[in-house]
Amino acid sequence: MKTNIIMKVMNIIFWIVFIGLCIETGALLVSLFVTLFINSNGAEDTYMGLDLLDLYNFNVEHYIGVASFSITLSALKAYLAYLVIKLFMKFDLNYPFNEKTASVITQMSHYALSIGVVAIIAENYANRIMRQGLTLQIDWGAEQFLFFAGIIYIIALVFKKGVEIQSENELTI
Amino acid sequence: MPIIVNLDVMMAKRKMSLNELSEKVGLTLSNLSILKTGKAKAVRFSTLEAICEALECQPGDILEFVE
């Protein structure tokens, strides 16, 4: 009973996270478009107070690069949140070890690893820009996602083994 | 799979249907069907004992190893 309530609450939380990340991705896309084609002052408040106007004035290509990384990472995070929602929808405590759940968890580990790798590339890119004299305070969260990817991958392996053991158990007469 | 289950042969010899065997042994029809069609990955001794008792046979009459 308690577990079901916790699962429902977590499902709602992840829906909120997913919607929030979708809004963030959309806002970053719109902001990039507005800054490039309508009004360059759009870079002053890209999303939730992120000020990239100095970067835009310094070099437009670098601005497009940083904005693209932000959009890509936000979109990947939104898809990861969607996979979590999908996991909650497919998860059945009475029959936890099944192929679909194992497949979703494996996908989650792959996407988390992708986010980590893209975030590392983005951080290195941002560091290169900062060496040219500009201040860029963006936390991409690379280490956190790589750590998360590692943990989820181990869980995916455990789930795959669980599926094997469960199917063998089901075919034991 | 090298182990063949000759359940249908013994059932035919004893003139017993799957339903009857299922009732005597206490297994569901689907489980018996899994066993009969060779899809089972393992058999418990308790199940083998119940089947042998119902069919009045030896385990070797039901299970056969083929290389």
In this predicted structure, which of A2-6, A122-126, B21-25 has the lowest mean pLDDT?
Answer: A2-6
B50-62 mean pLDDT? 94
Least Cα distance to B27 among B53, B2, B6 occurs for B53
B31 shares contact with chain A (CB less than 8 Å): yes
For domain B3-65, the CATH class is mainly alpha
pLDDT at B44: 94
Asked if B15 is an interface residue toward chain A (Cβ–Cβ < 8 A), one would say no
Domain segments of chain B as ranges: 3-65
pLDDT at B1: 66
Chain B residue closest to A173 (CA)? B43
Q: What ipTM is given for this predicted complex?
A: 0.83
Q: What is the rounded CA–CA span in Å between residue A43 and residue A41?
A: 5
> Is residue A108 in a domain?
yes
Work out the pLDDT band at B33, boundaries 50, 70, 90. very high
- Do A171 and B27 lie within an 8 Å CB cutoff? no
Q: Residues A3-22: what's their mean pLDDT?
A: 92
Q: In sequence order, what DSSP letters do the residues of A118-148 get, joined into one string?
A: HHHHHHHHHHHHHTTT--------HHHHHHH
Whether residue A171 and residue B39 make contact (CB cut-off 8 A), yes or no, is yes
Cα-based angle A21, A23, A26 (whole degrees, multiple of 5): 110
A93 contacts chain B (CB < 8 A)? no
Domain contains A92: no
| Phi-psi region at A16: left, alpha or beta (left = phi > 0; alpha = psi -120 to 50) | alpha
Containing structural domain, residue A20: 2-87+97-172
Number of domains making up chain A: 1
Does the pLDDT at position A53 exceed 70? Answer: yes
Task: Give the list of residues 6+ apart from residue A22 with CB closer than 8 angstroms, or none.
Answer: A78
pLDDT tens digits, A110-130:
999 999 999 999 999 999 998
Give the closest-approach CA distance of A90 to chain B in angstroms.
25
Give the residue from chain A lying closest to B37, CA to CA: A171
Chain B interface includes A172 (CB < 8 A): yes
Q: Does the residue A147 lie in any domain?
A: yes
pLDDT of residue A50: 79
A171 in contact with B, Cβ within 8 Å: yes
pTM: 0.79
Give the containing element (helix H, strand E) for B3.
strand B3-5
Stretch B17-38: mean pLDDT:
92
